[in-house]
Amino acid sequence: MSPALPRWADLALIPALNLALAFLAAGLVVVFIGEDPVQAVSVLIRGSLGSSYAIGFTLFYATTFVFTGLAVAIAFHAGLFNIGGEGQAILGGIGVALAALWLDTTHWLVVLPAAIVAAALFGAAWAAIPGILAATRGSHVVITTIMFNFIASALLVYLLVNVLRVPGAMSPETRRFAEGAHLPFMHTMLGHLGIGMARTPMNIASLLALLAALGTWVLIWRTRLGYEIRAFGHSEPAAVYAGISPVRIIVVVMLISGAMAACMALNVVLGYQQRLVLEFTAGAGFVGIAVALMGRSHPFGVVLAAILFGMLYQGGAELAFEMPAISRDMIVVIQALVILFTGALERMVRGPVERLFARRPARAAT
Amino acid sequence: MKWTAANGPRRAGAAVLGLALTAGAANADEINPAVIYDLGGKFDRSFNQASHTGAERFREETGIAYRDFELQSDAQREQALRRFAEQGHNPVIVTGFAYGSAMEEIAPDFPDTNFVIIDMVVDLPNVRSVVFNEHEGSYLVGVLGAMASETGTLGFVGGMDIPLIRKFACGYVQGVMATNPDATVLQNMTGTTGAAWNDPVRGGELARAQIDQGADVIYHAAGGTGVGVLQAAADADVYGIGVDSNQNYMHPGNVLTSMLKRVDVAVYDAMMDVKEGEWTTGVVVLGLAEDGVGWALDEHNEDLITAEMREAVEEAERRIIAGEIEVHDYTTDGTCPVQ
């Protein structure tokens, strides 16, 4: 955070400028392959926000990214780089599936709390091992968490192929959860209120994601633990001097982070797929890193960034439908440009903007 | 239904008639095909590319365009299916067992649309399920591999450790063991994520490790990863065996043969059947008898296949079709009689 910038410029202006640059670069790529960039952008926007169908899908994807983004953001506050969201989410999925398979003859009001607890426990347990290793043995969480991603995915394949698979079925997936474990979809909930909405996978987990973001804000800025986490993240020696135990903070932060990442499975496994399949995480754990970077590790920023990435996912799919010349690899390029400009090249814009504001100190101070 | 090249001219003739008949027909008979590939992408030179080839052949012969879509993530399966069905595409063809649940979800909502799913059985009134007897084709290339091997050690590189790939491996090992009971078959799987279908570097490493252990024939069932397996085999001057599409051309002289899985025929015929008004639903099993699987012989490998090998493999083919050899299908009971 630079003192030269007013807060609104730091939180809104710079991300907006980065985004504009990213779309400019992406537009050039679209021109390069001989397509109309204006049409591409309009398909992307219309496809992600233009109808209740589009918005539903966008927010469904965004919900997943809120959970994984918050997971990374919480760890960032303690100066930890948890890139194991993918593995923690996989474990969360296993927890959710076990809870749902066990309780799916009851009611979703029973299944949902059980699934939340199971996901959080499994995800936290998965993050605990790298956390304890980092706290007591000094092994770097970047290395250990990413290795745990591979172990988690091997565990998932083993369980789905050998234990949880429906006997005789070709596909490695669990049986479909029974009616009792189906979360209410947003379109049915809104339907009860008399608001029409197209059928989309968006479900009640989206509200949980908002609660999670609020909870994260309270935790980081309104609790003693949050203060300790931030103090530790700013300076470990200072935190130790203040009597904060690094071992405790590292382990606790990793537990919370892992549990948060695992909760994405509530949206995908319980809310939408209603069974556990391979690859259900679809890279959401890694997208969470970009979301946290772009959202400045602030829960509100994470929600906004998650919506942007939801738009890119949903709009990107529409782009591939509407303009076949833009292949899926092109869409990855466009998404990557957004991440590049908003995350890695963020300083490129910050310098000139800071100088601009420095020239007008009087106004910036007000 | 017999799926042979001889059907070609008859189909082309009927196509003209079909067009005239369906011109004024209801939506259900209108031909406007769409194909959705699996995560490997349409140019994986293997399974998905075979579907692309079938669709292209249909387009070239009939001049009817088709739409296709490559998935970015697993979550898009239902979305893509629903989208194409809503746009009035017919038939909508999906390639891969992973579409099973998405199909069960979407197909009932569009009773007038004809759906095709390959590699998976979905029991719905408007779905045609096409499954292949991969174990029979794998058995044949196992016979050829065992005869070509000098060391008696053969390799198998699979994509992911899932039932479908174990089915390939099990058929292959049965073919090898029937030909040379003393042979050893080394088996490796590439990975545990979807990336395993598109990781030629790792495929190459696994193949080299098997070659170091004495393997001189390596069969792959790993989609795009297999490109690396075949490359490693060619670099070490041993034999690779291709899969799904005919991959003999990739390293002439070093690709012993390819296990053909005629996904292209399944895609082409589905489109043709809708066009001609000969659409049928239900399960279509394509084995050796139906020419749905087989082994590839062309100008790139004719020098590698001796008369003796050819005789042996044709004999095995004949006996499988006649029912004298029963190749065990791993997916029926989850076990393989040989290792």
- Cβ pair B60, B110 in contact under 8 A: no
Residues in B touching A273 (Cβ below 8 Å): 101
H or E element, residue B264: helix B263-276
For testing the chain B interface, which of A166, A171, A175, A312 should be mutated: the one with the most B CBs within 10 Å? A171
Instruction: For residue B91, say if its preceding peptide bond is cis, omega within 30 degrees of 0.
Output: yes
Among A230-244, A252-266, B28-42, B320-334, the minimum mean pLDDT is found in: B28-42
- What is the C-alpha to C-alpha distance for residues A183 and A191, in angstroms, rounded to an integer? 15
Does any domain span residue A248? Answer: yes
CB pairs under 8 A between A and B: 83
**Cβ distance of A282 and B74 shorter than 8 Å:** yes
Range of the domain at A255: 64-297
Residue A153 lies in a domain: yes
Check if the beta carbon of residue B290 is closer than 8 Å to that of residue B3: yes
Task: State how far the Cα of A17 lies from the Cα of A94, in Å rounded to an integer.
Answer: 40
B63-102 residues touching A, CB cutoff 8 A: 67-76, 78-80, 83, 97-98, 100-101
Tokens of B51: 């579907």
Which residue reads 């043969």 in tokens?
B257
Do B273 and B177 lie in a common domain?
no
With a cut of 70, say whether residue A325 has pLDDT above it.
Answer: yes
- Ranking A315-319, A347-351, B203-207 by mean pLDDT, the lowest is A347-351
CA R_g for chain A: 21
- pLDDT for position A294: 84
What is the pLDDT averaged over residues A13-39?
Answer: 87
HSE-up of residue B309 (Cα within 13 Å, Cβ side): 22
- As a whole number, mean pLDDT of residues A345-358 equals 82
Confidence tier at A210 by pLDDT (50, 70, 90): very high
Whether residues A154 and B71 touch (CB distance < 8 A) is answered with no
Q: Rounded to an integer, what distance in angstroms lies between the CA atom of residue A212 and that of residue A263? A: 9
Do A361 and A308 meet the contact criterion of CB atoms below 8 Å apart? no
Percentages of chain B per state (helix, strand, coil), in multiples of 5: 45, 20, 35
CA A82 to chain centre: 12
Q: What is the pLDDT of residue A3?
A: 54
Residue A96 Cα, gap to closest chain B Cα (Å) = 18
B11 and B125 share one domain:
yes
Q: A45 vs B16, which has greater pLDDT?
A: A45
Query: In this structure, which amino acid lies at residue B203?
Result: G
- Do residue B63 and residue B102 come from a single domain? yes
Among all residues of chain B, which has the CA nearest to that of A313? B72
CA distance A20 to A338: 9
Is B334 in Cβ contact with A167 (below 8 Å)?
Answer: yes
Q: Would you say A152 and A87 are in contact if contact means Cβ atoms under 8 Å apart?
A: yes
Residues 6 or more apart whose Cβ sits within 8 Å of residue A19: A308, A338, A341, A342
CATH number at residue B113: 3.40.50.2300
pTM above 0.95? no
Q: Are residues B117 and B193 both part of a single domain?
A: no
pLDDT at residue number B8: 39
Q: Does B1 map to a domain?
A: no
The verdict on a CB contact (< 8 Å) between B162 and A321 is no
| Torsional class of B47: left (φ above 0), alpha (ψ -120 to 50), beta (otherwise) | alpha
Residue B338 lies in a domain: no
Any domain includes A267: yes
Contact B236, B215 (CB under 8 A): no
To test the contact with chain A by mutation, choose from B71, B79, B83 the residue with the greatest count of A C-beta atoms within 10 A, namely B79
Q: Would you give per-residue pLDDT tens digits along chain B (339 residues)?
A: 334 433 433 333 333 333 333 333 334 557 899 999 987 788 877 788 889 999 999 999 999 999 999 887 777 888 899 989 988 999 999 998 889 888 998 999 999 999 999 998 999 999 999 999 999 999 999 999 999 999 999 999 999 888 889 999 999 999 999 999 999 999 999 987 777 888 899 999 999 999 999 999 999 999 889 999 999 999 999 999 999 989 999 999 999 999 999 999 999 999 999 999 899 999 999 999 988 999 999 999 999 999 999 999 999 999 999 999 999 999 888 889 887
Q: What is the pLDDT of residue B13?
A: 39
Q: How close A68 gets to chain B, by Cα (Å)?
A: 16
- Res A225: pLDDT: 96
Angle at which helices B47-62 and B7-22 cross, to 10°: 60
Tell me, yes or no, whether B333 lies in a domain.
no
pLDDT of residue B29: 58
Closest chain A residue to the Cα of B41, Cα to Cα: A328
CA-to-CA distance for A236 and A253, rounded, in angstroms? 14
**Please, how many CA atoms are within 13 Å of residue B31, restricted to the half-sphere of its CB?**
27
Tens digits of residue pLDDT in A121-173: 999 999 999 999 999 999 999 999 999 999 999 999 999 988 998 877 777 88
From chain B, the residues in CB contact with A328 under 8 A are: 41, 70-72
Position A112 in a domain: yes
Is A343 part of a structural domain of the chain? no
- DSSP, collapsed to helix, strand or coil, labels residue B285 as strand
Q: In terms of domains, do B188 and B316 share one?
A: yes
Q: Which domain holds residue B12?
A: 7-133+262-286
Specify the DSSP element, H or E, that contains B322. Answer: helix B307-322
Average pLDDT over residues A5-26: 83
Cα nearest neighbour of A175 on chain B: B101
- Is B332 an interface residue toward A (CB < 8 Å)? yes
**B window 175-204, beta carbon within 8 A of A:** 192-194
Any domain includes A52: no
Cβ contact (<8 Å) for A150 and B192? yes
Residues B163 and B195 in one domain: yes
Asked whether residue B116 falls in the same domain as residue B191, the answer is no
Interval B113-156: pLDDT, tens: 999 999 989 999 999 999 999 999 999 999 999 999 999 999 99
Task: Give a yes or no: residue B330 inside a domain.
Answer: no
Given pLDDT bands bounded at 50, 70 and 90, which one contains residue A322? confident
Residues B81 and B92 grouped into a single domain: yes
d(CA B63, CA B56): 10
Q: Is A274 exposed, middle or buried (0-12, 13-18, 19+ CB in 10 A)?
A: buried
Kindly determine whether residue A320 and residue B83, on different chains, have CB atoms separated by under 8 Å. no
Query: Which residue's structure tokens are 């029963």?
Result: B326
SS3 state of residue B183: coil
Contact B74 A320 (CB under 8 A): no
pLDDT tens-digit profile of B305-328? 999 999 999 999 999 999 999 999
Which H/E stretch holds residue B103? helix B100-106
What number is the ipTM of this complex?
0.72
Residue B22 lies in a domain: yes
Q: Which residues contact B107 (CB under 8 A, 6 or more apart)?
A: B113, B115, B122, B124, B126, B127
Whether B242 and B297 share a structural domain: yes
Least confident of A11-20, A216-225, B81-90: A11-20
Residues B93 and B44 in one domain: yes
Over chain A, what HEC string results? CCCCCCHHHHHHHHHHHHHHHHHHHHHHHHHHCCCCHHHHHHHHHHHHHCCHHHHHHHHHHHHHHHHHHHHHHHHHHCCCCCCCHHHHHHHHHHHHHHHHHHHCCCCHHHHHHHHHHHHHHHHHHHHHHHHHHHHHHCCCHHHHHHHHHHHHHHHHHHHHHHHCCCCCCCCCECCCCCHHHCCCEHHHHHHHCCCCCCCCCCECHHHHHHHHHHHHHHHHHHCHHHHHHHHHHHCHHHHHHCCCCHHHHHHHHHHHHHHHHHCHHHHHHHHHHCCCECCCCCCHHHHHHHHHHHCCCCHHHHHHHHHHHHHHHHHHHHHHHHCCCCCHHHHHHHHHHHHHHHHHCHHHHHHHHHHHHHCCHHHHHC
DSSP H or E stretch at residue B218: strand B217-221
Rg (CA), chain B: 20
Looking at the fold, whether B176 and B314 belong to one and the same domain comes out as yes
A259 assigned to some structural domain: yes
Interface mutation vs chain B, best among A170, A176, A182, A312, most B CBs within 10 Å:
A170
Domain count across chain A: 1
Chain A interface includes B59 (CB < 8 A):
no
Given an 8 Å threshold on Cβ–Cβ distance, is A171 in contact with B74?
no
Domain membership flag for residue A57: no
Angstrom distance (rounded) from CA A333 to CA A322: 17
Look at B101 and A171 and tell me if their CB atoms are within 8 Å.
yes
pLDDT, residue B21, reads: 37
B185 three-class SS: strand
Q: Which residues of B touch A168 (CB under 8 A)?
A: 331-332, 334
Please name every residue paired with B82 in a beta bridge, in sequence order, or none if there are none. none
- Indicate if the pLDDT at residue A335 is higher than 90: no
Confirm whether B331 is domain-assigned. no
Backbone region of residue B114 per phi and psi (left: phi > 0; alpha: psi in -120 to 50; beta: other values): beta
SS3 of B119-169: the string is CCCCCCCCEEEEEECHHHHHHHHHHHHHHHCCCCEEEEEEEECCHHHHHHH
Domains held by chain B: number: 2
**pLDDT for position A361:** 57
Q: What angle do CA A97, A102, A107 make, to 5 degrees?
A: 95
**C-beta atoms surrounding A314 within 10 Å:** 28
Do the Cβ atoms of A295 and A302 come closer than 8 Å?
yes
Residues A268 and B75 sit within 8 Å (Cβ to Cβ):
yes
Tell me the residues of A at the B interface, defined by beta carbons under 8 Å apart.
57, 61, 150, 153-154, 156-157, 161, 165, 167-168, 170-173, 176, 201, 268, 272-273, 275, 277-280, 282-283, 313, 316-317, 320-321, 324, 327-328, 331-332
Same-domain status, B176 and B281: no
In a domain, B178, yes or no: yes
Q: What pLDDT was estimated at residue B11?
A: 39
